Structure 1
Amino acid sequence: MPQTRPDSAPDPLALPDSAETTDDSLFDRPDSPCVGICSTLFDEVCQGCGRTAMEVSNWVFMSDAEKQAVWERITREATARRFQRD
């Protein structure tokens, strides 16, 4: 007869509660604002995505909250090629 676990035992494969409550807006857009047109022309902001040189170089190390703040700023400014419709 197979052994069964008591109902009160935690499922070792279950996600923690904190992992189940995510910000859906993080999945509504790509991880990076990069559009593959990197152009800074020696200024501080990339004309392709609108991020600063520091934001581009540190993107992979930024938290979700920091990335969200950058996305909000570049979306609000809407000056990068990413936001221009031809």
Structure 2
Amino acid sequence: MLEEKKERPDTPCVAVCSTTFDEICRGCGRTVLEVADWVFMSQEEKDKVWDRILAQGYPRRNT
């Protein structure tokens, strides 16, 4: 799992930002607050968000 974390980009953002109808971005899976606070989060906090969004099938890239 440590190797997986090293492979992650700094942010889950996939430039498909959409929180129009709810509090979760449809592109990256983060909440509005997580997106806003991302640059201020500790690495541990970011890792927790990464773990959650990956488990939920995010980030969603258009491929």
Q: TM-score band, normalised by the shorter chain?
A: 0.7 to 0.9
Structure 2, gaps ≥5 residues long: none
RMSD: 1.9
Structure 1, gaps ≥5 residues long: 1-23
Greater relative contact order, per chain length (Cα 8 Å cut-off, separation 6+): 2
Task: Return the offset for 1:57.
Answer: 0.1
Aligned-partner Cα distance in 2 for 1:80–1:30: 11
TM-score by length of 1: 0.62
What is the aligned-residue identity percentage? 54
| Structure 1 residue ranges (4+ consecutive) displaced by more than 3 angstroms after TM superposition | none
Task: Return the offset for 1:25.
Answer: 4.3
TM-score by length of 2: 0.83
Q: Which has the higher helix share?
A: 2
Bigger radius of gyration among the two = 1
